[in-house]
Chains A and B, each alone.
Chain A
Amino acid sequence: MKSIFSNADTLKNQNLGLAMIAASLLVILFITAYLFNYQRNMQLSQIRSQGVGLVRLLGSMPMGQLAPVDGRQGPLQLIRQTHAHPNFAYAVLVDTRGNPLLQVAKPGIIVPVAALPQEPSAWLGERVLNSQDGATLMEFHGPVIEQGDLAAYLRVGYVRPAYGPAPAQLPFFATLALAVFLLTPMFYFLVRREIKPLTQVNRHMQAMLESGQIGEPELHPSGELKDFMQRFSHFIDAAQQRIQSLEAHQTDVDMSRKVISYQKSRIESALQSLPDAVIVMDESGITTYANAKLHSLLGIDLEQVVGARPDQWCSDAGVLAYLTSCHNNSARTYRADAVEFAPDGAPEKRVSVSAYPLFSPRQTSLVLGTLFVFRDVSDESAAKRARSEFVAHVAHELKTPLNVLHMYSETLQDDAGATRELTIEAANVIHDEVGRLSSLISNLLSMTKIEMGTMSLERKRVKLHELVRDVFDNITRSADGMDLRFDLQIPPEISAVSLDKDLIRIAFNNLLTNAIKYNRPGGRVIVSAEENDEEILVKVRDTGLGIEAGDQARIFDKFYRSENEQVRERTGHGLGLSLAREIVHLHYGELEVSSQAGQGSEFTVRFRKDMGVLKQAI
């Protein structure tokens, strides 16, 4: 049989065993003490009644009967012989002076000497005496009354019953003791056996608690405990199932959480990588989110912004007004426009902020907050500015010839009669100005097309020699009346090039026109071309005004004309060189100038051979 005590319990159980033994001993003691007491009391009362009865009885007997003189056995002897009471010790008849007249005693008993009470009321009584050998005696004394006088005393003594078992009773007490002694532990063991499953369950549960796992205890209960164990088993089952389902659920939740977290990170990283800065404000006006671009665009720290109201970090009054006006309105009153401003510390930048209401996904009329997008529109702004400046320039450039045309034509209309010289002059001027206007317009158109990128080069194989000569001839024809010498130096063997004929023609045209325009009387214009391993060059040189050093960088700017008086004397709109350069760049070439004020200028067009300018000979 497997011991039901575990190592841990042994000490406890030993103590318990000792306690059990002690308890049973106590019980035995108690029972026996009670029994002894009861016995003794019984004996005492027995003795008392007997003693007193005897004394009374004998006291009423005549003396002659009590103390027979003829040698017959008196009642005292009879009593001794027949008196069954085991404690009977002696019976003594004493005279009034106390001398014994007749005495019967149990063997071994010495009658103690004791004076008898003189008082008549105390004649009948009981007292305790000690014999010489130390035994305690109960004596009953009484008077013998004869004819109304005290004749003698009777003294009847009993051994006082001791406290303790009579020898005959020992078996009884032993059996009782044994019974009790055995019964208690047996009872204890029985109970323990009954609750053994509970102890196992307890230990099992302790193990479960410590290890954190749930398992079935191996028990075989019976009776009441069986029900309990069954239910407990069910409970454990149910608990296990529940835990499993919770764990599964928890895994799901963890998974979902991870997925959501991943999605959130993805969205956040998308938000962070937006080129614009975004902030989200809740309906109370506190910023709940801001992406990192806020710092790079506006120079504001994220810690200052998140969790704060706009008035705590926004220094621009107009923007602040915009931010506050948008958040505390319903969607209907959202400002559709955006506000442009220059951020602190970056006055050259332009930033546009626009507001978008964030609608609740459940209630589309409910606005939960606002999304503000800050966009760097510096480029757009600059482009807008450049555009309006360009338009202004163009308008001005157009107005000037128109003005002249208008005035001259009006003069011609006058009835006062235009003189012949005036008419001729007017006609010439009108012609020139119209020419100027058309060249301006066509230049503008080309320029716009090139810049818009809508112009595609139509590269054709072109004999450079022929093209340049063609342009040269045209220009020189119209410059016939001028006091200028023209030279063309193009080697005919120069390679053919792949160019857009029309555009290049415009470019050369412009260069040549300038060479003529800014020349001086008696000056020269030389057009030359050369070729080496890497490049093909075309040069246009004049001996004219030259270009001052300060102007050289700017002559290619649109509409730029030098402030130099001599330059300004000549009419021009400042587009020729910029257009020429654009065209050359389109062909991956370069247009350079080298000039000295007062001496003349040389413009060089370079085409690199490796940039596809040379088309393979078909």
Chain B
Amino acid sequence: MRTILVVDDERYVARVLSVALERAGYAVESANNGEEAVYKLVDLEPDAVLTDIMMPRMNGRELVAVVRNHFPQRQVPIVVMTSSLELEHRDWVKNYSNLHFIEKPVSPRRIIHILDEYFSGIETEKPGHESLQTV
């Protein structure tokens, strides 16, 4: 079973995403903010990370940087949830591979679809689905 790490400071958001992902057959770990997520990453090896941007202590952007810098070989796929106000910050996203932006309000259905597609692409080695960005 694949594990997804859900990072969001809104309790309810983390909760509903966890429920939805679990129902879709994933195992879910959650963290309240970026810092907590990093600690969890050290112990855990999630197959994907789903994170918010605006969080205390360490926001989503910083988290992405840390994940890529500290675990370069893992190239964990990251889905970043953002409100459209942060469109102007999207240019930093281009610096990273295997990153996907999804706009709030977030649809759990869509997230599950993205993840499913990605993982099935890897398994079957379908061309064009190696990167999360193309999904």
A416-458: which residues lie under 8 A (CB-CB) from chain B? 416, 422, 425-426, 429, 433
- The CA-CA distance from A563 to B106 in the complex, in Å, is 25
Flag whether A408 is at the interface (Cβ < 8 A).
Answer: yes
With A411-B108, A563-B56, A563-B57 as known contacts, state yes or no: A404 contacts B16, CB within 8 Å: yes
Chain A: which residue is nearest B17 at the CB level? Answer: A407
Flag whether A410 is at the interface (Cβ < 8 A).
Answer: yes
Q: Shortest CB–CB separation between residue A465 and chain B, in angstroms?
A: 38
Flag whether A402 is at the interface (Cβ < 8 A).
Answer: yes
Residues of B with C-beta under 8 A to A568: 9, 32, 56
Q: Shortest CB–CB separation between residue A185 and chain B, in angstroms?
A: 120
Pair B85/A407 contact, Cβ less than 8 Å: no
With A416-B23, A563-B56 as known contacts, state yes or no: A403 contacts B13, CB within 8 Å: yes
Flag whether B83 is at the interface (Cβ < 8 A).
Answer: yes
Pair B57/A396 contact, Cβ less than 8 Å: no
Pair A396/B108 contact, Cβ less than 8 Å: no
- The CA-CA distance from A403 to B56 in the complex, in Å, is 18
By secondary structure, the A interface counts as: helix
Pair B12/A399 contact, Cβ less than 8 Å: no
Residues of B with C-beta under 8 A to A565: 32, 56-57
Q: Shortest CB–CB separation between residue B130 and chain A, in angstroms?
A: 29
Residue from B11, B12, B20, B32 with most neighbouring chain A CB atoms (10 Å): B12
Chain B: which residue is nearest A426 at the CB level? Answer: B16
Pair B106/A403 contact, Cβ less than 8 Å: yes
Pair B54/A396 contact, Cβ less than 8 Å: yes
Q: Shortest CB–CB separation between residue A419 and chain B, in angstroms?
A: 9
Flag whether B19 is at the interface (Cβ < 8 A).
Answer: yes
Flag whether B74 is at the interface (Cβ < 8 A).
Answer: no
Residues of A with C-beta under 8 A to B20: 407, 410-411, 414
Pair A403/B10 contact, Cβ less than 8 Å: yes
Flag whether A149 is at the interface (Cβ < 8 A).
Answer: no
Q: Shortest CB–CB separation between residue A204 and chain B, in angstroms?
A: 97
Flag whether B127 is at the interface (Cβ < 8 A).
Answer: no
Residue from B16, B19, B23, B85 with most neighbouring chain A CB atoms (10 Å): B16
- The CA-CA distance from A395 to B12 in the complex, in Å, is 18
- The CA-CA distance from A395 to B108 in the complex, in Å, is 21
Flag whether B70 is at the interface (Cβ < 8 A).
Answer: no
Flag whether B120 is at the interface (Cβ < 8 A).
Answer: no
Pair B10/A396 contact, Cβ less than 8 Å: no
Q: Shortest CB–CB separation between residue A394 and chain B, in angstroms?
A: 11
Flag whether A400 is at the interface (Cβ < 8 A).
Answer: yes
Chain B 93-135 near chain A by CB (<8 Å), digits 1 or 0: 0000000000011111100000000000000000000000000
Flag whether A392 is at the interface (Cβ < 8 A).
Answer: yes
Flag whether A571 is at the interface (Cβ < 8 A).
Answer: yes
Chain A: which residue is nearest B24 at the CB level? Answer: A416
Pair B11/A395 contact, Cβ less than 8 Å: no
Flag whether A554 is at the interface (Cβ < 8 A).
Answer: no
Chain B 16-37 near chain A by CB (<8 Å), digits 1 or 0: 1101100100000000100000
- The CA-CA distance from A343 to B23 in the complex, in Å, is 60
Residues of B with C-beta under 8 A to A571: 10-11
Chain B: which residue is nearest A417 at the CB level? Answer: B23
With A395-B85, A396-B83 as known contacts, state yes or no: A410 contacts B12, CB within 8 Å: no
Residues of A with C-beta under 8 A to B17: 407
Flag whether A406 is at the interface (Cβ < 8 A).
Answer: yes
Pair B10/A392 contact, Cβ less than 8 Å: no
Flag whether A569 is at the interface (Cβ < 8 A).
Answer: yes
**Which of B13, B23, B83 touches A407 (beta carbons < 8 Å)?**
B13
User: Residues of A at under 8 Å CB distance from B?
Assistant: 392, 395-396, 399-400, 402-408, 410-411, 414, 416, 422, 425-426, 429, 433, 563, 565, 568-569, 571
Q: What 13 new A-B contacts, CB under 8 Å, besides A396-B85, A403-B104?
A: A396-B54, A403-B105, A407-B16, A407-B17, A407-B106, A411-B19, A425-B15, A426-B16, A568-B9, A568-B32, A568-B56, A569-B11, A569-B32
5 closest A-B pairs by CB: A406-B105, A407-B16, A404-B12, A403-B105, A399-B83
Q: 26 A-B residue contacts at CB 8 Å?
A: A395-B83, A396-B83, A396-B85, A402-B105, A403-B13, A404-B12, A405-B105, A406-B107, A407-B12, A407-B13, A407-B16, A407-B20, A407-B106, A407-B108, A408-B12, A410-B20, A410-B107, A411-B16, A411-B20, A411-B108, A416-B23, A429-B16, A563-B57, A568-B9, A569-B11, A571-B10
